[in-house]
Chain A
Amino acid sequence: MGNDAGKILMTDIQYVAPSTLDDAIGAYAAASGAARILAGGTDLLVQMRAGMVKPGLIVDIKKVAELNAIEETADGGFRVGAAVSGAVLAEHPKFGKVWPGVLEGLNLIGSTQVQGRASAGGNLCNGSPAADGVPGLIAAEAIATIQGPNGRREIPVEQVPAGPGKTTLAPGEILVSFTLPPRPAHSSDAYLRMIPRTEMDIAVVGCGVSLTMDGDTCTAARVGLGAVAPTVLLVEDAAKALIGSKLDAAALDAAAAACSAVCRPIDDKRGTIVYRTKVAGVLLKRTTAIAAERAKGG
């Protein structure tokens, strides 16, 4: 083995770091499929090193202001740039108070070092069914803003993943930001994942739940479920089982059954199909309990 064994070996590759979104889209679209977007790089550099991707052009989007901003919108929601790192989002004075579940999902991605770089946009666009950041964003009813050569469009986050490693973004399109809606009083969220250890692992199942409570009654709910299907799922039947209930045992059993019913997981070293399907229901109950506790307090 030579001295360069294992290093990223590329013979013809270019790097650009545009300061405007238009320039980034122009460069990305012009490379027609040979380019990769660089935000935190915690997936891209690993994939390049493993020889899984060989981009001719790397478009670093971190100098585009809109992709790095965290803003409160006029209606009381949040807009989070796609390249904002987990560490930066965690330091925002308000975001984690309003969306603790979204934040705890994003902050479960990798180590402290990875948190310093890894972004919510990258977590979504990497297309992993086990992405820890995505179930919480889906539960939050987050909207993804996407811009490409043909203009700007907005779609629900759950419509972005298309399968392992794939998204519905068209060639030349870049994920710009996430918009999270304003929160009614007594609303909160939570994210839990099942892993066989306490840190630094990939979800066997991940569950995000967002709730609004009126006293003991649940008046609104959304459930996102990860690592149990080719994409992270929005589980509408689970939400329906929770809405209107007092989150009693019957409602939780029905919501858990709805989660298990949508599972189409893989069998692998992290968990069997039977195990993942059962745990999906268990996590729904545990995550709902945390979200409800937070919602009643807030």
Chain B
Amino acid sequence: MAKTHVTTTINGEPTEFLCAPYETMLDVLRDNLGMTGSKEGCGSGDCGACSITLDDRLVCSCLMLAVEAEGHEIRTIEGMSEGEKLHPLQQKFLEMAALQCGICTPGVLVAADALLKQNPNPSETEVRYWLAGNLCRCTGYDKIVRAVLETAADMRGAAE
């Protein structure tokens, strides 16, 4: 079957790829583009391990067709650090051990980053509701929530 040529932007880089009309954005990121940071947990939009942003809006890449990326701007976990310099959320997750196996972590970080861009001072309740679509079977969520809240506080402090 003929493949579709898609022109898009991924993590600020103009990117082109070929894909079949039924392939998801997650399939293309992982299998065609070698960006395996986004994980496939459920493939049905329940677990959030494949979280990316589409024009700065948080979405599940397993619930998006790759052809829909045409002309839009995608950001993934691979674009979170600046080279070797980790994003404050990444640094804090390491310091506070807010992960164990790590499969959910890229999706949690992308989702948390989207939250802090929209709301730099979230309450614990807001963090928990925002991340309700990111399942973690290791941590019990408490370390994740605390790491997000501490990062938010640090980033507010740095901005003053």
Contacts and interface: CB of A to CB of B under 8 A. Distances in A.
Nearest to A9: B22
Greatest chain A CB density within 10 A among B24, B54, B134 is at B24
Contacts, number: 99
A83 to B, nearest CB: 12
Contact of B111 (A14, A58, A112): A112
Contacts of A42: 45, 60, 63
Contacts of B58: 112-113, 116
A114 interface: yes
Interface stretch (B7-15, B75-83, B125-133, B147-155): B125-133
Interface in A21-62: 38, 40-42, 45-46, 48-50, 58, 60, 62
Contacts of A116: 54, 57-59
A13 interface: yes
Contacts of B46: 111, 200
A280 B60 CA distance: 33
Given A15-B67, A41-B65, A42-B63, A113 B27 contact: no
B65 A38 contact: yes
A15 B130 contact: no
Contacts of B27: 7
B1 interface: yes
Contacts of A60: 65, 67-68
A14 B133 contact: no
Contacts of B111: 112-113
Interface of B (DSSP majority class) = mixed
B64 A10 contact: no
Interface string B42-82: 01111010010010011110111101101000000000000
A34 B114 CA distance: 37
Interface of A (DSSP majority class) = loop
B65 A49 contact: no
Given A113-B58, A116-B57, A199 B129 contact: yes
Contacts of A113: 45, 48, 51, 58-60, 63, 111, 133
A84 B65 CA distance: 18
Contacts of B22: 8-10, 13, 48
A48 B129 CA distance: 28
Contacts of A13: 1, 20-22
Interface in A104-119: 110-114, 116-117
Nearest to B67: A15
A11 interface: yes
Interface in B93-144: 111, 114-115, 129-134
A294 B27 CA distance: 46
A115 B136 CA distance: 20
A6 interface: yes
A12 interface: yes
A249 B58 CA distance: 44
A15 to B, nearest CB: 4
A46 B60 CA distance: 12
Top 7 nearest A-B pairs (CB, nearest first) are A111-B133, A15-B21, A199-B132, A10-B22, A116-B57, A113-B60, A116-B59
Given A41-B68, A200-B46, 6 more contacts: A10-B20, A15-B21, A41-B63, A60-B65, A112-B58, A113-B60
